[in-house]
Amino acid sequence: MSRLMTLTLTSHRGRDYPVELFTPDTAFTDTGAVYLFLRMPEGRSLQAQVLYVGESDRMASQLGHDRRPGGPWERALALGFDTVGGLPLARPEDRALIAREFIHSWNPPCNDGHGTLSGLVGLTAPSAFQLRRAMVGK
DSSP H helical segments within 5-138, as ranges?
59-66, 72-78, 92-106, 128-136
- Tell me the CATH number at 40: 3.40.1440.10
pLDDT of residue 100: 95
**What's the rounded Cα separation, in Å, for the pair 51 and 6?**
18
Residue span of the structural domain in which 111 resides: 3-136
Number of Cβ within 10 Å of residue 7's Cβ equals 18
Cα–Cα distance for residue pair 98/115, rounded to 1 Å: 23
Mean pLDDT (whole number) for 3-12: 85
What pLDDT, in 10s, does the model give residues 65-101? 999 999 999 999 999 999 999 999 999 999 999 999 9
Look at residue 98 in the predicted model and tell me its pLDDT. Answer: 97
Q: With left for phi above 0 and alpha for psi between -120 and 50, is residue 52 left, alpha or beta?
A: beta
pLDDT for 29 equals: 93
Please give the tally of structural domains in the chain.
1
